[in-house]
Structure 1
Amino acid sequence: MMSFSVKSKPILIHARFCMTLAGIWPLAIPTKRLILLRAYAVYSDMVKIYFPMFLVSLCMEFTLSTVSNNNVEKKFSQLIYVISLLIVGVAATLYQGKDFKEIITYIIKDEKDIRYSVDVEIKRCHLGRVRFCSKACWAITIMTCGVGISICLENFWRRFEVDQYNKHQNVSMEKPFAYDLYYYHLDKETHAGVLLILNDFSVVINGLLVASTKIVFFSCIIYPASILKRLQIRFERWKGDGDCFSETLKDLVLQHQNVIRFITKLNGSIKYLIFMEFLLNSLNIAAVSIQFITFEKTMLASPILFFGILFTQTFVLGWSANEIKVQSLMLADALYRSPWYEQNETVKKMVLTMIMRAQTPLVLTIGPFDAMTTQSALAIMKGSYSYVSVMLNNYQ
């Protein structure tokens, strides 16, 4: 018999670890040492203050450079960062809300119930979703780390090239930074050391925030399919005699209602985040693709890895949202396969009502519009192709 408690880990374990490092899940520190808790609280507050200031500075510099600079490569690089980090900022803000905290609490409680369950089939079903989520989270983590490291290495190489050029040409060309930020009256040469430290700190914080927001997003959209699949198993194995049969059915009705409420609350919490992803990922993917085609090949490590993050996120979101829709519709089939026909008229009417309710799919929507599905993910990629065509015509 498989031991669930040993071989399986909570689906939120990756999200919890990354969000703790990013300073947005303070309850994840299992310590009674007051000094550590206070130090973490200071770090968490510093991140929450610094990141909005960083976004404002990034947007200001992007606006100024767009007006005054004709460097297409620089514009595309900044555009990618601005769009991506704005989404991260919105996501981090949403995750601090009351509704989202209730969603996390529900998932933790539900997994606790599974951990103490003796039903091996239920555990195996849940374990399959956990493994899929773990692979997606590791992929995002590795690619995010790769992006951060490549950004730092590429910036070091650019600064080295400028140093060599200045030495041989006896000029004083301004050295680049990892992020083009608005520094008010700070001189980039005089305060180069301080600005480099700020840039490196920004790379680390941004990497943690990107990884944590993407991972918690993945975990929350993958989990509902596990709940629905487990409910199908319970529907199919529904059995009993007389009053016991009716009571078992009533318990399943309550479970179904809880699942509906959970997915409805989840959709209400993240539907506008999905809307932003749907609108902006096409532009972001297009901007990264332009870098593949037109810019110098020695500086493509971070765009390639970032393209991997965007591609993975787009199709995991589309597939997971589609799974919620499909699995919710399959609840009706699972109920129909149960021995409902052996029961009295009251029970048959209850089953019929549940089957009728299951005909309305549970979905994650793109803002106030249509449901997110795999077709939506393909639409994002098609939109990216259209943007690339337009951008290449303008670039040429």
Structure 2
Amino acid sequence: MLKESLFWLFESLEDPNRPLFGPNYWLLNKTGLLLPKNRMDRIWIIIIHEIVMIFVVTQFMELYLIGTDLDLVLSNLKMSMLSSVCVIKANAFVFWQENWSQVIDYITEADKFERDNQDEAKGNIINSYTRYCRRVTYLYWVLVFTTFFTTVTSSLVKYYSLEKGFYNGTEPFPHILSSWMPFDKDNSPGCWITVMWHTWLCAYGAAIMGAYDTSVMVVMVYFGGKLELLRIRCREMLGTEGKGISNENAEKVVRQLHGIHVLLLKHSRLFNSVLSPVMFCYVVICSVMICASAYQLTSTTNTAQKLLMAEYLIFGIAQLFMFCWHSNCVMYKSQDVMMGLYESDWWAANLQQRKNVLILQGQMRIVHIYTAGPFTNLTLPTFIAILKGAYSYYTILRK
């Protein structure tokens, strides 16, 4: 019964017009990252996004009011940074809405083209990256939901802690998030109003994270798959079995491959232009988030809090790793594309066809690299460097 329900749920998220991007496109619409066409609906969605941005300001106001309590400062700073990343992602997506739409439309049309013109080898690659995108999307959604659930329930676990008994008002109310409120948030009814407000905000942030992050990952996976398909097309450009093709057909194939690569490069750079500023902010903030989580994990004595900090730390590291891993894969696949030219039957081609191959080789040498601002690339060495930086900050705090 459960298996049938999950199958029905997953099938309901599929879109025949978007065979690769269906579930991600659905969540982008539900979260309001893809703005509706109706003018009033668009205004309402934008207002919601900006209300959340105002909430982030109240978090930093509370950070100023906390004082010198290191544990509270780290808890607030960690959540404030994560909230800031959510707001940056939402507003960046809305601000560059047209660019994102161009990238999504290109992926949809290019993916349909490949599906309509596939053979066995290309079909295996298409099925492979489609299945991988689904696994990454759904598993990441589970991770985000788990983080949301543990974050929301952590305050209730602390409230009804077996070690301290029921909350008696002698300590500050254990809120989900730390933020300034225009009323007494430590006593009823203000405390429960704050809990409901924070719960909605956590749900909003989880939805934004799930929609934005998985969309970025699927785009990267598709670009990697497209590069693999392009390598196969390059391998077959001069025919098979050494029989060769006519100059007219060879020129036609070279023009097609050149056009495919130019479009791929254009939209890859467009994608990087909207992703790079967000990743720059995230990379800068991530070190602080991971450092704060690691410090609290090792300093707290409460078991429930340890579990929460461990899950939060895993989420932060996994999120950063997924971006760097998929970006790194695209970089290496783009370096391997021109190998398809050497794997072709170039040795059976005439002089004119070999000249076309050399021209195409120069085009294929361009490497696709996604960046985090103007300072670093999204690669595995960057991921390792961030972890080293976070550990350095952690050792400073421990001293």
Alignment CA distance shift 1:6-1:51 (3 Å): closer
Contact 1:80/1:288 (CA < 8 Å) preserved in 2?
A: yes
Alignment CA distance shift 1:6-1:187 (3 Å): closer
Contact 2:62/2:178 (CA < 8 Å) preserved in 1?
A: yes
Q: 1:292 pairs with 293, 297, 311, which one?
A: 297
Contact 2:160/2:167 (CA < 8 Å) preserved in 1?
A: no
Q: 1:24 pairs with 30, 33, 46, which one?
A: 33
Aligned-partner SS, 1:180: coil
Query: Deviation per CA, 1:316-364, whole angstroms, max 9, x where unpaired?
Result: 2222112212111111111111123333333222211221233332211
**Cα distance in 1 between the residues matched to 2:249 and 2:166:** 84
Query: Deviation per CA, 1:149-175, whole angstroms, max 9, x where unpaired?
Result: 1122211132335994664xxx65431
Is 1:385 the counterpart of 2:384? The answer is no
| Equivalent position of 2:84 in the other structure | 86
Extract unaligned runs of 5+ from structure 2: 1-13, 240-244
Aligned-partner SS, 1:300: helix
1:17-166 correspondence to structure 2 within 5 Å: 17-26=26-35, 44-45=45-46, 47-65=48-66, 68-70=67-69, 72-96=70-94, 97=96, 98-160=98-160, 164=165
Contact 1:146/1:302 (CA < 8 Å) preserved in 2?
A: no
Alignment CA distance shift 1:95-1:187 (3 Å): closer
Is 1:221 the counterpart of 2:230? The answer is no
Alignment CA distance shift 1:383-1:166 (3 Å): closer
Q: 2:273 pairs with 268, 272, 275, which one?
A: 268
**Cα distance in 1 between the residues matched to 2:33 and 2:134:** 20
RMSD value over aligned CA atoms?
Answer: 2.8
Aligned-partner SS, 2:175: coil
| TM superposition shift of 1:277 | 2.5
**Cα distance in 1 between the residues matched to 2:44 and 2:151:** 24
Extract unaligned runs of 5+ from structure 1: 29-36
**Cα distance in 2 between the residues matched to 1:248 and 1:50:** 53
Alignment CA distance shift 1:163-1:293 (3 Å): closer
Contact 1:179/1:199 (CA < 8 Å) preserved in 2?
A: yes
* TM-score, L = length of structure 2: 0.85
Q: What is the identity, as a one-letter code, of the residue corresponding to 1:58? A: Q
* TM-score, L = length of structure 1: 0.86
- My pick for the range that moved more, 92-101 or 46-55, is 46-55
**Cα distance in 1 between the residues matched to 2:109 and 2:84:** 32
Q: What is the identity, as a one-letter code, of the residue corresponding to 2:151? A: I
Alignment CA distance shift 1:382-1:48 (3 Å): same
**Cα distance in 1 between the residues matched to 2:85 and 2:34:** 19
| Equivalent position of 1:235 in the other structure | 234
Query: Deviation per CA, 1:155-197, whole angstroms, max 9, x where unpaired?
Result: 1132335994664xxx654312111111134554252332222
| TM superposition shift of 1:42 | 7.9
**Cα distance in 2 between the residues matched to 1:362 and 1:42:** 36
Contact 2:247/2:353 (CA < 8 Å) preserved in 1?
A: no
